[in-house]
């Protein structure tokens, strides 16, 4: 037989009030050869004093338990919100990975060739891109397209294979031996 409050302890005796078994520590009051547990002793005392102490104690215990329960619920909600924020941040980061990778990669070249170029060369290459677009639409460049330094029209050459090649008239002004684009090779070529 074990104590009602402490299941690992051997019971000493039963409470005279509730008749439950209790250990020495749990049995408090002894009066008229009767032993009482804490609850029954309080009940007896409250009946003697005309005050319901047990009810007040039980209400206080219920209130304390409710406060602990509310605190645990609040902690769970806070933790769930934190996990939610972390998950959203990870999703956003995962979505942004391709953008971050493209930002870290070197930009695509303006033309074929790995030479450093200045602003004038870049403007000429941009003009070659416009010429390339016209060639892809089966049009020839007009006098409105030219390179900034020479301000001369592009030279149009029809190749025996049916390709139309458009080259810069004076590529040496830009420090190159050849600057061209063609219908079959639409990316501007820059040759040193």
Kindly state the percentage of the chain with pLDDT values over 90: 26
Answer for the pair 110, 123: CB distance below 8 angstroms, yes or no: no
Greater confidence (156 vs 112) lies with 156
Residue scoring higher pLDDT (33 or 183): 183
How far from chain centre, in Å, is Cα 80? 15
68-101 tens-digit pLDDT = 999 999 999 999 999 999 999 999 988 888 877 7
The predicted pLDDT at position 88 comes to 95
Structure tokens at 186: 């639409």
d(CA 123, CA 89): 42
pLDDT for the residue 30: 66
Question: What local confidence, expressed as pLDDT, does residue 44 receive?
Answer: 79
CA-to-CA distance for 169 and 151, rounded, in angstroms? 9
pLDDT, mean of residues 151-173: 84
Contact 118, 126 (CB under 8 A): no
- Res 81: pLDDT: 95
Asked if pLDDT for residue 65 goes beyond 90, the answer is yes
Tell me the pLDDT of the chain averaged across its residues: 83
Whole-number pLDDT of residue 192: 82
Tokens in use for 32? Answer: 């008229």
Residue 45 contacts residue 53 (beta carbons within 8 Å): yes
* Domain boundaries defined on the chain: 119-191
pLDDT at 114: 58
Measured between alpha carbons, how far is 47 from 41 in angstroms, rounded to an integer? 10
Helix, strand or coil, per DSSP, at residue 43: helix
Rounded Cα–Cα distance for residues 66 and 1 (Å):
33
- Here the tokens at position 170 are 């004076």
What confidence tens digit (pLDDT) does each residue in 6-48 have?
999 999 889 988 999 999 888 886 667 788 888 888 887 777 6
Q: Note the pLDDT of residue 112.
A: 52
With a pLDDT cut of 70, the percent of the chain lying above it is 86
């Amino acid at each position: 037989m074990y104590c009602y409050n402490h299941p690992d302890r051997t019971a000493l005796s039963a409470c005279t009030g509730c008749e439950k078994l209790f250990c020495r520590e749990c049995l408090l009051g002894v009066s008229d050869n009767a032993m009482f547990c804490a609850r029954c002793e309080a009940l007896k005392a409250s009946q003697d004093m005309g005050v319901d102490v047990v009810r007040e104690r039980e209400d206080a215990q219920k209130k304390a338990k409710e406060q602990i329960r509310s605190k645990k619920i609040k902690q769970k909600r806070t933790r769930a919100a934190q996990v939610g924020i972390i998950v959203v941040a990870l999703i956003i980061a995962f979505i942004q990975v391709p953008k971050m990778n493209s930002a870290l990669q070197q930009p695509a070249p303006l033309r074929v060739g790995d030479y450093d170029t200045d602003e004038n060369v870049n403007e000429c290459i941009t003009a070659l891109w416009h010429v390339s677009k016209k060639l892809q639409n089966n049009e020839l460049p007009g006098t409105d397209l030219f390179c900034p330094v020479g301000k001369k029209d592009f030279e149009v050459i029809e190749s025996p294979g049916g390709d139309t090649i458009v080259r810069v008239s004076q590529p040496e002004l830009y420090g190159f031996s050849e600057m061209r684009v063609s219908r079959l090779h639409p990316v501007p070529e820059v040759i040193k």
